[in-house]
Structure formats: C-alpha cells, structure tokens
Amino acid sequence: MAGSVAKRGLVLACSAALAVSAGVTDTGLQQREQPRIALLAGYLQQKNSAEAAGGLPRTAWKDISAFQQLRTAEGHPLAQPVSGLSCAAPTACREEFGDEVVLWTAQNGITVLHKSVDVLSRRDGFSSLGKPLNSEYAFGAVYRTDFENGSLIRVPELDRVMTWDAEIAGSAVVIGDSQTGPGTWVDQGLTELGYRTVLRGAGGTGYIRGNGSVGNYYTALTQQQWVLPWGTPQLVVLQGGGNDAGIASDVQIAEAAQTMIAEARRTYPKSRLVMIGVISSAKGAVGSRRTAVDALLASVAQQEGVEFLSVGDWWTRFSLGEYRETDGRHFTDAGHRAAGQILSRELGALLSAG
C-alpha cells in the first residue's frame, strides 16, 4: 500500500516537473488560450521504466505528461481519459474517441482535433491546409486549430466549422448563384466599391433550388457544403433567386428567403446585410417571372428590415440585354464589366443612403 502511494506521488511529481519544463504553468495557461487535450492516460499509467510503452522515445512521453496537465485545465471539459490505446504504425497513429480525434507520432507527440474539424480538414478542397500544427485551443468563445497553411474555427454556438480569414473585417461575403462567381458583375461591382470579396455559392442554386451537387442556400450553409469565414465581415450579400422562378410558388420562395435571412443574421449578427434581387427585363417582357421574383424578394426584405437592391429590370433599363450569352440569362465578359460598373454605382448609392 505504501509502495503504491509512493509510486503515485512520484508519477505526479514527474508530470508536474515535465509540465514546467515544457513551459506549462498556471500563468502560462492563462496567457495563451488553453488547448483542449484528450490524453492517452492509459499509456501514462503504464510508464514504469525509461523505455516508454509502444516504443515511444522519451520526448514523446514528455509531451504526453505535459498534455496530461493541460487536460485538467478548468473550463475545458473533456471525455474521460482513454486507456489501452495501441498503435503499431511506425510513423503516425490515429484513434477516435467520441468527438475527439487523437493523432500522434513518435517525433511530434500528440495532436488532438475535434472530429468536425478533422472531417472538414480532410475533405476535397481543404488539402491545402496541410498538417495540423497544434491541438484545438480556446480562442475567445470559439475553438481554433492551426494547420500548416491556415486555421479552422469551430463555433459551438452555430454548430459549425468555419475558415479563418485575417482580412474578413474589410470583406463582403457573398452568397448566391452563378451570377456571383469570380469575375462576375456582382464580384466586379463590389470590388469597385472597395470590398474584398469572399464568394460562396454555386450555379443553378437559389433559396429553394439546389443543383444536384450542392443544395439551396440554407442547406449548403447548414450542411457545410460550402464553408463561410468566421468573424465580422463589413458586408454580407444575399443574391439571386432566379433559379427558383420556374419551380416554386411565391409562398415557398418567400418562406425560404426569410429562413436564409435569419441564418445570415445568426451567422453574422454584427455585419451589414444587403440583398440583391434577380436580374431580368422589365415587367411584361420575356422572363417576367424572374422580374416577379425580384419584386417578391423586395417585399420580403422590407418585411425583414433588410436593405434591398432591385435589379429586376436591368436588362431593359440599362440596355444590358445585348450583353447576354446565348442562354439569355448570363453575361458575356463585356456584360459583366458593364453590369459591374452599374452595380457599383447603384449599390454604392443604396449603402450611402442607408
């Protein structure tokens, strides 16, 4: 019994010493936001010789011991310590425990990611992030994980993972359809107004419609088919609705637009929100259903207290119809330039008046 108590005291003393040697003190934990770490506690308990279990060198055990101290930090509840973990891989090991994914190597020690962050970081389109540099750590009211080429932010309040964008404060985040892609009239118009654009959306989508690969605006956002940047952009723009014109009733479109407005506000509560309608011709012309949807969205925006730029007659009003592609809905390069200049002027006036 006495031997057990002595051994336990020795383990705790060694853990504390290792934590201090790694720069892990109470003061240090307060100065830098504390990592959330799930420990391989079973290994730590099994350590009874200079040769670490699993063939890990002393440096890896030092990391594990220091992480054990961090794991008990106040304000960071975690799953129960895991034991019996074994990994025969010579370079890297990976295990999932509840909402956490444990990654470790003999050379670099342990990294722990939240499962949602791990899943997103390994998805197509995010491979450029590279390897995680550290475990998830508290970052104000959210949690951050740094990678070789960027960071991901987990937002518990939104139940969502978002990208880290150091320039978000001067940006316009745009959610829309094919009219909002890179180099389009929406992109060019916002750029002329001085905004750095962050474009999210896809062709063939709308408040109701998805394109088969990506859902409608709300579905794409809440299911993270595309991912928004975290923070407070200067402007948030909801554009489009033209793809809904032929498949949904006014009631359906209005309800879906209201839902998306609410989600945009929940995501960016401190950002200025603006809607741009459906570009089309004057009433009574071919494509008048698109014009009607533009007017419908204008009424929804008014009810919800959102600034709205109507573009439902621009093809006629500004003689932009001649710049359309053969499909009759999209602009040529010259059309995007012309419409972008008009958007810059008209949206600029709206924002100034507002």
Mean pLDDT of the chain: 79
User: What pLDDT does residue 33 have?
Assistant: 33
Q: Which two tokens stand for residue 79?
A: 């799953």
User: What percentage of the chain has pLDDT greater than the value 70?
Assistant: 71
Summarize pLDDT for 19-70 with one digit per residue, the tens: 333 333 333 333 333 333 334 444 444 443 344 444 444 555 555 555 555 5
Q: Select the more confidently predicted residue: 206 or 112.
A: 206
| Separation between Cα atoms, residue 323 and residue 326, nearest integer Å | 10
Q: Give me the mean pLDDT over the 135-143 stretch.
A: 90
Summarize pLDDT for 76-127 with one digit per residue, the tens: 444 444 444 455 566 667 777 678 787 776 566 678 889 999 999 999 889 8
- In sequence order, which residues have a C-beta less than 8 Å from that of residue 318 and are 6 or more positions away? 338, 339, 342
- In sequence order, which residues have a C-beta less than 8 Å from that of residue 233 and are 6 or more positions away? 168, 169, 171, 172, 173, 198, 268, 271
User: What percentage of the chain has pLDDT greater than the value 90?
Assistant: 60
- Supply angle C-alpha 296, 299, 305, rounded to 5: 140
Specify the long-range contacts of residues 77-82, CB closer than 8 Å, at least 24 apart. 78/36, 78/37, 78/38, 79/38, 81/38, 81/39, 81/40, 81/41, 81/42, 82/38, 82/39, 82/40, 82/41, 82/42
Domains of the chain: 13-163 (no CATH), 168-353 (3.40.50.1110)
